[in-house]
Chains A and B, each alone.
Chain A
């Protein structure tokens, strides 16, 4: 069974440029998460989807970040414009249903460097 797939794995952009990350969750997983992990820190939740509905986006910096999950499967996270402080690993994760009953599976992350 394929795991959570993310692309691109690595991205280097100049500040003020846009960037987008794509995630394909495990087949059949209704819940999808985007986390951000800064160097030496644990991941922090940006947004959680139940199917195509964003049920928790309280941590998403809405002035420059946006996300969508069309048809309740793949998801895209966009940053526009990027700032130096956005350099981090962006992790996508999915679970079968709501996470309190099920293991959450993470992708390998998209590593963003803003210069």
Chain B
């Protein structure tokens, strides 16, 4: 059974700091790994999608990497801003008939001005 773990559960940083969020998964049989952002009371917004054949994806100040062999992904946020405060979830899309997204519990990020 695929398990996705995110560390840390919560993170508080001063504005301008670069930071890394970690995600690990137990089964490397995945199609892709996605990072989402969730603001309080809102749904999920897709940030980055990394296919299993890729190593990383970049969008603006965000960079996500994927190492299937070690079962790890990281989300790097450069020059953090208060507007980055949210919960960040990673999700692995399982191969096989289910094609189910398995989510971690998320990392709650607070960027202090």
Contact = CB atoms under 8 A, between A and B. Distances in A.
B99 A99 contact: yes
B101 A45 contact: yes
The residue among B41, B43, B44, B104 with the most chain A CB atoms within 10 A of its own CB is B43
Sorting the interface of chain B by its residue count into under 10, 10 to 19, 20 to 34 or 35 or more gives: 20 to 34
Interface in B54-82: none
A69 interface: no
Contact of B97 (A42, A44, A45, A56): A56
Interface of B: 4, 31-32, 34, 36, 41-46, 49, 89, 91, 93, 95, 97-106
A61 B101 CA distance: 18
Contacts of A4: 43
Contact of A42 (B32, B45, B98, B106): B106
Interface in A20-55: 33, 35, 40-45, 48, 55
